Amino acid sequence: MAVKFLVRGIQAALALLLAALAAALAGQWAAAAVLAVLLALLPAGYYFYCLLRLRALAARGPEAAADFVFGTGAWLAGALQHREEILPFIKSFPEPPRAVAEIGRAQGGTLALLCSAAAPDALVISLDLPGGAFSGELSSFNKAFWRRPLLRAMKGPGRRLELIDGDSRSPESLRRFAEALGGRRLDLLFIDGDHSYDGVKADFERYSGFVRPGGVIAFHDIQPCAARPGVEVSRFWRDYQLPGTRAEYVKDRAQDGMGIGAVRLPG
Residue 194 lies near ligand SAM (rule: CB under 6 A): yes
Nearest residue to ligand SAM, by Cβ distance, number only: 132
Read off the amino acid at residue 192: D
* Widest distance between CA atoms in the chain: 75
Binding-site member from 14, 44, 133, 178 for ligand SAM (CB under 6 A): 133
Whose Cβ is closer to ligand SAM: residue 73's or residue 215's? 73
Annotate each residue in 242-261 with x if it binds ligand SAM (CB under 6 A) or - if it does not, as one string. --------------------
Residue 223 lies near ligand SAM (rule: CB under 6 A): no
Task: Give the CA count within 13 Å in the CB-facing half-sphere of 65.
Answer: 26
Report the nearest approach of ligand SAM to the CB of residue 129 (Å).
4
Residue 207 lies near ligand SAM (rule: CB under 6 A): no
Binding-site member from 109, 215, 257, 261 for ligand SAM (CB under 6 A): 109
Provide DSSP, the chain: -HHHHHHHHHHHHHHHHHHHHHHHHTT-HHHHHHHHHHHHHHHHHHHHHHHHHHHHHTTSHHHHHHHHHTTTTHHHH--SS-HHHHHHHHT--SS--SEEEEE--TTSHHHHHHHHHS-TT-EEEEEE-TT-TT--TTHHHHH-TTHHHHHHHTTTTT-EEEEEES-TTSHHHHHHHHHHHTT--EEEEEE-S--SHHHHHHHHHHHGGGEEEEEEEEEE--S--SSSTT--HHHHHHHS---SEEEEE-S-TTSSS--EEEEEPP-
Binding-site member from 73, 96, 97, 104 for ligand SAM (CB under 6 A): 104
Distance (Å, rounded) from C-alpha 175 to C-alpha 191?
18
Binding-site member from 53, 105, 147, 155 for ligand SAM (CB under 6 A): 105
Residue 234 lies near ligand SAM (rule: CB under 6 A): no
Q: How many residues bind ligand SAM (CB under 6 A)?
A: 26
- 121 close to 128: Cβ distance less than 8 angstroms: no
Residue 167 lies near ligand SAM (rule: CB under 6 A): yes
Q: For residue 257, is it left (φ>0), alpha (ψ between -120 and 50) or beta?
A: left
Which stretch in 6-14, 20-28, 106-114, 223-231 sits in contact with ligand SAM by CB under 6 A? 106-114
Binding-site member from 68, 89, 134, 207 for ligand SAM (CB under 6 A): 134
Report the nearest approach of ligand SAM to the CB of residue 83 (Å).
11
Binding-site member from 79, 117, 262, 263 for ligand SAM (CB under 6 A): 79
Report the nearest approach of ligand SAM to the CB of residue 4 (Å).
23
Residue 68 lies near ligand SAM (rule: CB under 6 A): no
Binding-site member from 20, 80, 90, 153 for ligand SAM (CB under 6 A): 80
Give contact residues for ligand SAM (rule: CB under 6 A): 79-81, 103-107, 109-110, 127-135, 142, 167-169, 192-194
